[in-house]
Structure 1
Amino acid sequence: MKIAIVTLGTRGDLQPFIALGLGLQRAGYDVLLISSKNETEFVRGYGLPYHALNVDVQQAMENQAVQQMAKGDNPLSFILSHLSGNDSMKQTMIDVQDEIWEACQGADTLIYHPGMSNVYLMAQELGIPSILASPFPLSTKGDYPSILFYDGPRLGKLYNRLTHFIFENAFWQLSRSSAKAFWKKRGKANLVPMTPPSRLQAASGMPTLYGYSEQLFARPHDWPGNLVVTGSWSLPDDPTWTPPADLVNFLQAGEPPVYVGFGSIKDAGTFSETSKIIVSALTKAKRRGLIALGWNLPDALDPLPDSVFVLGSAPHSWLFPRMAAVVHHGGAGTTHAGLNAGRPTLIIPHTADQPAWGRRVYELGAGAAPIPRKKLTADNLAAALPVLFNPDVRAKAAELGSLMAEENGIREAVAQIDTYLKTTLARKAHLPS
């Protein structure tokens, strides 16, 4: 059977789906991953067939309007900024639907990130199953607020359900206009519902898989059986990557450093200032540090002390176990990677779901209280770093890492998909012709 997996975003958004694709490939499925052209060589390095969409995510992140949208640091400003959006970005999303449709032809099943909700409608039109694969909590529940509202007040189950309702509907509206434009060209505009596809998916009986750890967000008891929290989808080390000699030498020259990195958060205008804050904080706290640039590639940085190393990027599964603690933006994948390694965590959230992961890590006692990016200073970062070396915090992070290590998110996700598809095929085989 051929399974097409559709996602779009930064490398952090893509990596869990590469891991899922590799798991399905090992189980005997013919897998095609569909995402942006930025990561073509990276994905193919894992031996996974890849359809590169004609969209440059890194270039899009540099767009001034997108940079402004990324500064939405509370639920309402984030939602409103994305709904008002940017005309060029909206047109890009409209154009990419045609490419996705063509790439999905011949597939027997479609798996999609919740940000690509039109894929649910494509599967309906093709008459094949769809599977929603989400790296964060999405479905309505009363146990806790939605991921976008999680860092806000606690006002009870009714309020929690309301925040999930708002988030699901707002998330669908982000891509509904491109879905409408796509189906209107085909004379089927009536296919586009007001109800979010994530809710239709949950009600359909087809799987919705959540690629995060139950140690972070427990599965609500009132979910139907087709909504499953599998554990995180961790990508194996890049088979083409070897650690540079200067990095190895730095790690061997002293005590394990503190990792500081903001992944694919594009901070071109202020990254020089941010790096100064980081270096000053590490110096004040008397800690060695490793700064990962990610997508921030400044022309030059001020001279650094010998106690600080600057790195473009490295696989988290290799790097994080060699760190004393991790400080990062709070992407879902990076959060899981740090905790999987048993490392105390401090999150500097910028936007979207990042404040939620920051608060959750702190609530669990596995790290320091998050510091919002706009409030980051050398002094408050230096004051937070000793928390990461508190014996109780380190013990809790290690305990959490051990519990998460017992999960096998890919194995569970593949088993869920395999069981569903084989059951569906068997049922069809017994239907009268």
Structure 2
Amino acid sequence: MTTIVITAYGTRGDVAPLTGLGIRLRNNLSAHVVIAAQGPYAHAVRASGLEFRTLPGDTEAATRDSEHGQALVDGARMRPSRAALDEMRTGLAGVGEAMAATAQDADVLLAEGPVGTLLGYHVAEALGIPSAGLSLQPACPTADFAPPPLTIRSFGGSGNRLVWRLAAWGERIYTPLIDDLRHNLGLAPSPQRRYRDARAKRWPIVHGYSRHLVARPRDWRAHWHLSGYWWPADDETWLPPQELAEFIDNGPAPVFIGFGSTATSKGRELSETITTAIRRAGVRAVVQRGWAGLSCGGDDVITVDDVPHSWLFPRMAAVVHHCGAGTTAAALRAGVPSIPVPGIMDQPFWADRLSRLGAACAPLPRTSLRAEELSASITNVITETRYRQEAQRLSRLIRDEDGAGAATDIIAALLETTTTKGAHHGH
């Protein structure tokens, strides 16, 4: 039986979509599928019926404990100091080796996310198995736009390409980490340029988002794929808390408010801003605590922990969120308009896309969020029917895509090239 190991080092948003993809790989390729992730995600993986293996660390705790991490999350303008760069490297020490340990029996390694694509290429080389990167945001250079984690500004075709090159050059801060990893895995030393070029020329990367949100750039290489969204596996055993179900049924559709894996230290101020905005807009609200620890008072407000977006969002009038890739996808799938409150990394990029497509109002950056703006945006998005119409149009298009199926076909082709090759090596 073929064993496929998927490594996902990151937050819930990195892990959840892989459960749906993993189930499809298991069913279509009759493979044994493993997801390797940090401890907090063991339950989500096991509940989907896939094998869980542990990667080190806890991203939430690490972000909270680090003043650099906090400054980044809260948008402080910081020059990358030597201490911050050292911390970034130290935080990943041993992660590549752990990935290799979780993939000892793998026939294929799929490495998800920025950390996965940084380290997974070398891990697969050491194990001598086919591999691919998986990304939930555009991760390959193009003239169409600049790298999403860096900026939403466009600098024109050649300008955008230049920013991608600079971003790739920035990977140099991890060179000592990768040199150590290659040494520890028994690989020959390699200058960064050599493996960077080899990776760009040959290594497949499969992107799990919809072309209706970001079209596949025409200048992408043939092995850079866009499959469509991968949806988190539904936990068949999950039932909504009675209190939540009753709250939703007892009045007009509420507004959802949640910032997912945003480990900000400013949870209390945000909660006050949100409470005022809800009262001012005169809406009912479901507030998700999340990593920000939101807690809002009021008769028309209920605070919840994790609730599957696939169940909750279709019951909402609108969704106020941080525009992480997964939450953005869930809002679109539910056909519900968004009020984007983006923070860092790729969040402003998704916020900008939702807004440009008309499925959301103009983004309200989280670090400067004010109650009057938030309340005005909530009112606007709920009363102007065009936002919901646009969200529903996109929802229909996205539901017609089979992202997990398309990704499975790409991965099946990877397996085929190697079994034929393996035959000659007496594999």
TM-score, with length taken from structure 2 = 0.92
Give the one of 207, 211, 232 matched to 1:210.
207
Change (3 A) 1:225 1:188: closer
Give the one of 52, 59, 71 matched to 2:54.
52
Change (3 A) 1:431 1:10: closer
Residue aligning to 1:2: 3
* Secondary structure of residue in 1 paired with 2:199: helix
**Is residue 109 of structure 1 aligned with residue 108 of structure 2?**
yes
One-letter amino acid of the counterpart of residue 143, structure 1: D
For each residue in 1:105-144, what CA deviation from the matched residue of structure 2 results, as whole angstroms up to 9, or x when unmatched?
A: 1211111023222210121222211111100001111122
Task: Tell me if the contact between 2:54 and 2:102 (Cα under 8 Å) persists in the aligned partners.
Answer: no
* Secondary structure of residue in 2 paired with 1:133: strand
Cα distance in 1 for residues equivalent to 2:81 and 2:223: 30
Give the one of 322, 334, 338 matched to 1:329.
322
Cα distance in 1 for residues equivalent to 2:262 and 2:299: 26
* Secondary structure of residue in 2 paired with 1:337: helix
Matches within 5 A, 1:304-323: 304-323=297-316
State the percentage of identical aligned residues. 33
Task: Tell me if the contact between 1:145 and 1:160 (Cα under 8 Å) persists in the aligned partners.
Answer: yes
Cα distance in 1 for residues equivalent to 2:351 and 2:119: 30
**Is residue 398 of structure 1 aligned with residue 398 of structure 2?**
no
One-letter amino acid of the counterpart of residue 74, structure 2: K
Cα shift at 1:85 = 2.6
Cα distance in 1 for residues equivalent to 2:82 and 2:49: 37
187-196 or 154-163, larger mean C-alpha shift: 187-196
Task: Tell me if the contact between 1:209 and 1:228 (Cα under 8 Å) persists in the aligned partners.
Answer: yes
Cα distance in 2 for residues equivalent to 1:196 and 1:289: 50
Change (3 A) 1:431 1:91: closer
One-letter amino acid of the counterpart of residue 90, structure 2: Q
**Is residue 290 of structure 1 aligned with residue 281 of structure 2?**
no
Residue aligning to 1:422: 416
Matches within 5 A, 1:73-112: 81=80, 85=84, 87=86, 90-112=89-111
Cα distance in 1 for residues equivalent to 2:349 and 2:93: 30
Task: Tell me if the contact between 1:262 and 1:328 (Cα under 8 Å) persists in the aligned partners.
Answer: yes
Task: Tell me if the contact between 2:286 and 2:302 (Cα under 8 Å) persists in the aligned partners.
Answer: yes
**Is residue 38 of structure 1 aligned with residue 40 of structure 2?**
yes
Please identify runs of 4+ aligned residues in structure 1 that moved more than 6 A: 430-433
* Secondary structure of residue in 2 paired with 1:216: coil
Cα shift at 1:236 = 2.5
Residue aligning to 1:250: 247
Residue aligning to 1:69: 72
Cα shift at 1:81 = 3.7
Change (3 A) 1:94 1:82: farther
Cα shift at 1:218 = 0.2
Task: Tell me if the contact between 1:292 and 1:313 (Cα under 8 Å) persists in the aligned partners.
Answer: yes
Cα distance in 2 for residues equivalent to 1:4 and 1:309: 39
92-101 or 277-286, larger mean C-alpha shift: 92-101
Contiguous gaps of at least 5 residues in structure 1? none
Residue aligning to 2:16: 15
Matches within 5 A, 1:339-418: 339-389=332-382, 390-418=384-412
Cα shift at 1:362 = 0.7
Residue aligning to 1:262: 259
Task: Tell me if the contact between 1:38 and 1:58 (Cα under 8 Å) persists in the aligned partners.
Answer: no
Change (3 A) 1:43 1:253: same
Cα shift at 1:189 = 6.0
One-letter amino acid of the counterpart of residue 212, structure 1: Y
Task: Tell me if the contact between 2:123 and 2:185 (Cα under 8 Å) persists in the aligned partners.
Answer: no
One-letter amino acid of the counterpart of residue 231, structure 1: G
Change (3 A) 1:17 1:192: farther
418-427 or 330-339, larger mean C-alpha shift: 418-427
Cα shift at 1:86 = 6.1
Cα distance in 1 for residues equivalent to 2:194 and 2:245: 52
Cα shift at 1:346 = 1.5
One-letter amino acid of the counterpart of residue 406, structure 1: D
Task: Tell me if the contact between 1:339 and 1:401 (Cα under 8 Å) persists in the aligned partners.
Answer: yes
Cα distance in 2 for residues equivalent to 1:167 and 1:179: 17
Cα shift at 1:166 = 2.3
**Is residue 275 of structure 1 aligned with residue 271 of structure 2?**
yes
Cα distance in 1 for residues equivalent to 2:267 and 2:97: 36
Residue aligning to 1:118: 119
Cα shift at 1:155 = 2.9
Change (3 A) 1:191 1:21: farther
* Secondary structure of residue in 2 paired with 1:132: strand
Change (3 A) 1:179 1:387: same
Cα distance in 2 for residues equivalent to 1:36 and 1:236: 18
Change (3 A) 1:281 1:59: same
- Computed over aligned residues only, the root mean square deviation of the Cα atoms, in angstroms, reads 2.3
Task: Tell me if the contact between 1:132 and 1:201 (Cα under 8 Å) persists in the aligned partners.
Answer: no
Contiguous gaps of at least 5 residues in structure 2? none
Cα distance in 1 for residues equivalent to 2:222 and 2:186: 36
One-letter amino acid of the counterpart of residue 22, structure 1: I
Residue aligning to 2:163: 163
* Secondary structure of residue in 1 paired with 2:193: coil
Cα distance in 1 for residues equivalent to 2:76 and 2:229: 25
* Secondary structure of residue in 2 paired with 1:191: coil
Cα distance in 2 for residues equivalent to 1:81 and 1:330: 25
Change (3 A) 1:123 1:430: same
Task: Tell me if the contact between 1:365 and 1:396 (Cα under 8 Å) persists in the aligned partners.
Answer: yes
Cα distance in 1 for residues equivalent to 2:191 and 2:74: 30
One-letter amino acid of the counterpart of residue 311, structure 1: V
Cα shift at 1:222 = 2.2
Change (3 A) 1:44 1:387: same
* Secondary structure of residue in 2 paired with 1:349: coil
Cα shift at 1:101 = 1.7
Matches within 5 A, 1:175-186: 175-185=174-184
One-letter amino acid of the counterpart of residue 52, structure 1: T
Q: How many correspondences in the alignment?
A: 421
Cα shift at 1:330 = 0.9
Task: Tell me if the contact between 1:69 and 1:82 (Cα under 8 Å) persists in the aligned partners.
Answer: no
Cα distance in 1 for residues equivalent to 2:325 and 2:216: 17
Cα distance in 2 for residues equivalent to 1:230 and 1:239: 26
